[in-house]
Amino acid sequence: MGSVARLLLLLAAVASCAAGGLAATTPRLDGMRVRLTHVDAHGNYSRLQLLQRAARRSHHRMSRLVARATGAVLPAASSTSSSKAAAASSGGGDLQVPVHAGNGEFLMDLAIGTPALSYAAIVDTGSDLVWTQCKPCNECFNQSTPVFDPSSSSTYAPLPCSSDLCADLPTSSCTSKQQCGYTYTYGDASSTQGVLATETFTLAKEKAPGVAFGCGDTNEGDGFAQGAGLVGLGRGPLSLVSQLGLDKFSYCLTSLDDAGGKSPLLLGSAAAISESAATAPAQSTPLVKNPSQPSFYYVSLTGLTVGSTRVALPRSAFAIQDDGTGGVIVDSGTSITYLEVQGYRALKKAFVAQMSLLAVDGSAIGLDLCFQAPAKGADQVRVPKLVLHFDGGADLDLPAENYMVLDAGSGALCLTVMASRGLSIIGNFQQQNFQFVYDIAGDTLSFAPVQCDKL
């Protein structure tokens, strides 16, 4: 082959990478270990406040996810009203990446551009796009770090309308400069709008060049103010895990009682169940694809057991419907588990029948089903076990602290499961002190009980 032909092939390869983002795993990021810190780790909140705040965030996120799954549009909440609600409910050798929680439960510290500008972004397993606010802002929310100025970075490159990743956006357009314009919405009228570009991102001290991201100059709605954007970890081609070429990731979330504990997030080759730390064998269930919602991590929930009783439900109770609604997703950003009304009512009935306590209203905490604990203490109460059954024979046998929480002040012992319509969500209360491995290449979700702060 002649030198000119080789040069043309090289240029074509470079152009292909520039147009489509990262084409292969970035070796230095494969095997990375990231530490996650709970949203309320440094808030000095009482247990009641922790429960209220977690419930409020969960309800807000559930509404967003359900709206996306059903195609509904929720009224947008203003940042001011959100702040007031927050104040009312709050009362005031491994590569380590500091992470703080936000409305999507966690914010990851990272850096963008050359020279690198540090900022924090919400980590979201329920969406794909990586984006941050950019100058010049047409409409931007307040953030604690400087807004990214693409004109100050030597590695910023807007993507053309013809790029493959531009075609992967749910909504895109061609700007007057033939750049890829995007609009990305989150179901409740929250949205980001701007230009899709590539840039060098830095996690810990490792750089990932050529990551496609949304450079948002028009960003509105409730839920983003704790960060300066979002990092999508969903199943689509625009997500960070997809762009880095990582075929799996894993996390292990510490309990609410250990809000200051560190929860590991493992990327790529590091994402495997720790056999030495697991207290029971790992179990696996298939990840299910829903063409209507390709970003979500769906699983097939086949049944529920309360105590020694299998809850009477048709297998179709949690199935994905022909119109794309229904189904069950696993989501680290939602604290509470939400079940379709039919399933929740059956679960609630089983708990009421088996708990030898008076059922009380849990609305003050933000939950539905609570029981009045005896004066001698909740530790004397025998709580029926809860098991979630999945396709393939996997059983998530939950310890009581993963689905029952106590407000010591009121003596209310509450179930952290509620009802929803259009989508069921397995939240992070139920996932605490279990290691979950999302094998994207193998379409498998695996889990095992692990003391996460020891992992």
Residues paired with residue 106 on neighbouring β-strands, in sequence order = 123
Q: Which CATH class is domain 276-454?
A: mainly beta
Report the pLDDT averaged over residues 69-92.
Answer: 45
Inter-residue contact 63 to 335 (CB < 8 Å): no
The residues near 355 (Cβ < 8 Å, ≥ 6 apart) are: 371, 381, 383, 384
Contact (CB, 8 A) for 327 and 319: yes
Place of tokens 């270990």: 33
Query: Which pair of structure tokens corresponds to residue 15?
Result: 């152009």
User: Which candidate in 168, 331, 407, 439 is catalytic?
Assistant: 331
**Interval 150-178 mean pLDDT:** 96
Angle at which helix 79-90 crosses helix 47-70, to 10 degrees, equals 150
pTM: 0.84
124 is catalytic: yes
In CATH, which superfamily holds the domain spanning 25-251? Answer: Acid Proteases (2.40.70.10)
SS3 105: coil
pLDDT surpassing 50 at residue 6: no
Kindly report, residue by residue over 21-30, the tens digit of the pLDDT.
454 445 557 7
Give the range with max mean pLDDT: 73-82, 116-125, 297-306, 369-378: 297-306
Most confident of the following: 45-59, 243-257, 350-364, 432-446: 432-446
CATH 2.40.70.10 residue ranges of the chain are 25-251, 276-454
Q: Which of 124, 188, 222, 439 is catalytic?
A: 124
Give the separation between CA 224 and CA 273, rounded to whole angstroms: 32
The C-alpha R_g of the chain, in whole angstroms, comes to 22
Q: Which amino acid is at 370?
A: C
Is residue 247 among the annotated active site residues? no
Least confident of 94-108, 261-275, 306-320: 94-108
